[in-house]
Structure 1
Amino acid sequence: MSHYKPYPEYKESGIKWIESVPKHWDIIPIKRFTKLSTARTSDIGENITYIGLEDVESGSGKYSPTEGNSRQTDTSTVGAFSEGQILYGKLRPYLRKAIIAGFDGICSTEFLVLQPEKVLPELLQSWLLTSDVTQQIESTCEGAKMPRADWQGIGNIPMPLPPLEEQIAIRKSIQAEIARIDTLITKKTRFIDLLKEKRQALITHAVTKGLNPQVKMKDSGVEWIGEVPEHWEVISGNRLFSESKQLAFEDDQHLSATQKYGVIPLEEFQELEGRRVTQAVKNLEKRKHARINDFVISMRSFQGGIERVKANGCVRSSYVVLKPTPASHVGYFTYLFKSITYIQGLQATSMFIRDGQDLSYNNFRQVKVPCPSVSEQAQIADFLDKAIKSIDMLVTKTQKSIDLLKERRSAFITAAVTGQIDLRGE
């Protein structure tokens, strides 16, 4: 933003967290130019669009409707809003959700519906989404279980307010900059999606077809596998992995089976995610011991595959611990068990979604798997380690650039609505 110039003159705002503002701007509490709409309705017919907290993207204020367009209940009284009003999430975890309604509709009562007056909705929305304002509103939230913001706290928040003509110029610049940055973000996000698709395709091909494109193939007889190299076996999983029912040791640390990180210590998972997890307090004596390079079938394996154990400890009693035999290379099966096609094969063995049962060792043993020699398994694992590392590094690099673009977008909006940059001539 170095090419943008500041205003020629500033004045002290008298508010520590706002500091100075352009000399000709006013600083006015939000309630002086915005009203709270308390309209409610029980009319939630199929032709009326409902907006819930889950339908608003945090931080950007974008409308991202979730599949199915969920509602509170079919008989609940909900908020009613009109085009141009602002829906502001009042629950403390959702204070970064503020959307300008582009149509008339109904919404969750966990939104405050604001009617801007004497201020453009885009500027008020931008102000509400700045970090400083969010912190100020957080300090006013009340409630023991789920703190909420109220209109009194929000209405008393001051806002720097330029003349209307200047508001229009600022809005124009903000919209242009957001459009430019969002276009870049969209392109980079699509690039990441393509990289992830390439990653999964590479894994699937390597673990089911091998690395030699000239090798003679045969039909595996298994739908999810398709053809495999002629010299490979296709065998049941129980020939390669045995079920361990060994109970936890007294000093075992608790492990968390995750799709994202594998099976890792619970404390490490909490640190990586930056949140606390409710720990089991019942049936601790029934927990199962697991060792490094075992595999675990967890409650989410139906959706995301079987997880590799990365630390010694214990897992929930309902989980299945798999011990590899000498005929299985842990690296190869780490990739195979997380491949989309294997997950589809695992899903085909179970109706547990309907009958409420977890996946068992019996489900696992029903899934036939491709089985090259241990040496070839090792070669495939080594190849994938290098190839996937390269792809993952590119994904990480691209994601960092997306994060920087989002930071720039946020910084530009903050600078615009606080008068740090003069956009009148833009």
Structure 2
Amino acid sequence: MNEVRLKNLVTHIVEKNDGTLREFVALENLHSGSGSLNSGELEFKAAEDSLQHKKGDVLFSKLRPYLAKSHLAKVARTGTSELMVLRAGRDLDSRYLFYTSLSRPWIDWAVATSYGSKMPRTSWEGMADYRLHVPPLEEQRRIADFLDAETSRIDELVALTRVQLTVLAERRIVQVRQMTTRGAARVASPTGVPWMPRMASGWTLRKIGRTFKTGSGTTPRLDDERYCGDDVPWINTSDLRDGLVDVVKNSLSNEALRDHSALRVYEPGVLVVAMYGATVGRVGITGTSCCVNQACCVLYSPASLTTEYAYFWLLGFRGDILKMATGGGQPNISQDTVRSLRIPAPDVSTQREIVRFLEREEGLYRSKTELLNKRLELLAERKQALITAAVTGQIDVTSAGRATADLRA
């Protein structure tokens, strides 16, 4: 099989948009490693710095190429200039080029030719010398046909697995909401809260601001070396993952605490709520003494509500709480909003029984989701390995396709 440099087989297209309103492909519209495009989320833009592409062009993301974002255009659109637009020549099948752009050698080359540390980016100049395995055109088409069939089956399994994950997540939330409003009770009474209309008879609505003490923190100047140290873990909203917070990425020095009165050390076991940012609404219970930044609301020293019970209620009703958020691009909730929330609760003993039940269910949920996510990883590895083997001549697609068909028969 011949090896030919990319620049001798494709044309690198840099055709700017003329200002016409067209569908626009952004990097976030492309799925890593799958070659698929979420066309339902495309916006229309008239940006003159966007690049035009035609049906059959291959779009490959120059930015962070290790994410393997590539797409074979089905229709003409425009896209971000972070996409490299490649048009196959007469000796190269566009589908074969597309699959090659998802193969392991291509991605390794793109990563090796990248520059920049935080946001690595490859370029046409770097990719131009990549050597493709180029069989005759008819063989390229057979390889592409084989990969179309085999990868579509893998994609179906991926889609089904994602549905399973969605169903599990929805069931989890339904169960948490049920247990933290009605438990096992059959008789319910009204709450007066539109988005939580019923609770078990005999339960009491407890306002967070009257049941917990609340606090927050701040961000010192991180370019001041005096404030950077390993003395006290410093929780940011990105540390909140709806569970125990036992790993914290950042920490501060004792001097930072002395110089900033807004920073205080909270004991282990407090409940932390993200008030704004990309993680708004996430919750966590601390596993160690810590301080927090200003985007975190800390609930501590509870009376008549257990921290764990409040955690599950906030988890279950997060979607409704976020509807109370204010702001434009990144809505946020305030400490006042958190303090105003009312949690339906039984006596403390019953709360603990509910928590024990939900913790058991949470363990099962996490085990199942871990297995399903592992399946997604294995399917992604299988897909890339199959593509790589096919476009580098490691397998005979004719015999491989026949063998696969026999196994299914």
Name the counterpart of 2:10.
34
Alignment CA distance shift 1:204-1:261 (3 Å): closer
After superposition, the CA RMSD in angstroms is 3.1
Distance in 1, matches of 2:313 and 2:391, equals: 51
Q: Give me the whole-angstrom Cα distance separating, in 2, the residues matched to 1:357 and 1:91.
A: 28
Task: Measure the CA separation in 2 of the matches of 1:288 and 1:61.
Answer: 48
The structural deviation recorded for 1:230 is 1.4
Q: Describe the SS at the equivalent of 1:288.
A: coil
Distance 1:190 1:95 in 2: 23
**Alignment of 1:387 onto 2:387:** no
Counterpart of 1:231?
A: 202
For residues 328 and 119 of structure 2, what CA distance do their matches in structure 1 show? 33
> Distance between the aligned counterparts of 2:364 and 2:386, measured in 1?
33
The match for 2:179 is: 206
In structure 2, the residue matched to 1:333 is 310
Report the secondary structure of 2:55's partner residue: coil
Check whether the contact 2:217–2:292 (CA below 8 A) recurs between aligned residues.
no
Amino acid of the structure 1 residue aligned with 2:140:
Q
Q: Give the C-alpha shift of residue 355 in structure 1.
A: 12
Residue 404 of structure 2 is matched in structure 1 by: none
Match of 2:286 in 1: 309
Aligned with 1:65 (options 39, 54, 68):
39
1:109 equivalent in alignment to 2:85: no
Structure 2: unaligned runs, 5 residues or longer = 220-226, 402-409
The TM-score normalised by the length of structure 1 is: 0.81
Cross-structure match for 1:6:
none
- CA-to-partner distance for each residue in 1:329-376, whole Å, 9 max, x for gaps? 222111011113x5524643x5x3169996443222322210210000
Provide the residue aligned with 1:137 in structure 2: 110
The superposition leaves residues 208-256 of structure 1 with CA deviations (integer Å, 9 ceiling, x where unpaired) of 01123x4x22112222222212111112112321124799999422223
Alpha-carbon distance in 2 for matches of 1:245, 1:43: 47
Contact 1:54 1:66 in 2 (8 A): no
Is the contact made by 2:271 and 2:300 (CA closer than 8 Å) also made in structure 1? yes
Letter in 2 for 1:386: R
In 2, Cα distance between the equivalents of 1:179 and 1:372? 51
Give yes or no for contact 1:259–1:304 (8 Å, CA) kept in 2: no
Paired with 1:131 and 1:409, the residues of 2 have a C-alpha distance of 11
> In 2, distance between residues paired with 1:263 and 1:410?
35
Q: 2:134 aligns with which of 161, 168, 172?
A: 161
**What SS does the aligned partner of 1:338 have?**
helix
CA–CA separation in structure 2 for the residues paired with 1:246 and 1:34: 55
- Take 1:247 and 1:130, find their aligned partners in 2: how far apart are those partners? 46
How many Å separate the matches in 1 of 2:391 and 2:60?
18
Q: Counterpart of 2:174 in structure 1: which amino acid?
A: A
Q: Which amino acid aligns with 1:338?
A: L
Kept in 1, the 8 Å contact 2:274–2:281? The answer is no
- Measure, in 2, the Cα distance between the counterparts of 1:310 and 1:43: 54
**1:41–1:217: structure 2 CA closer, same or farther, 3 Å change rule?**
closer
Partners of 2:276 and 2:295 within 8 A in 1: no
Q: Within 1, Cα distance between the matches of 2:276 and 2:215?
A: 19
What is the match of residue 255 of structure 1? 235
The 8 Å contact of residues 263 and 309 in structure 1, kept in 2 or not, is answered as yes
User: Runs ≥4 in structure 1, deviation > 6 angstroms?
Assistant: 245-250, 277-284
TM-score, normalised to structure 2, is 0.84
Structure 1 pair 390/299, CA: closer, same or farther in 2 (3 Å)? same
Aligned length: 385
Matched to 2:355, the amino acid is A
Structure 2 counterpart of 1:366: 340
- Which letter maps to 1:241? F
Q: CA deviation at 1:147?
A: 4.1
Q: 1:337 to 1:113 in 2, by over 3 A?
A: same
The 3 A distance-change label for structure 1 pair 353 and 282 is farther
- SS of 1:321's equivalent? strand
Q: Does 1:424 align with 2:398?
A: yes
Give percent identity, aligned residues only: 24
- Aligned residue for 2:59, secondary structure, equals strand
Aligned counterpart, 2:405 = none
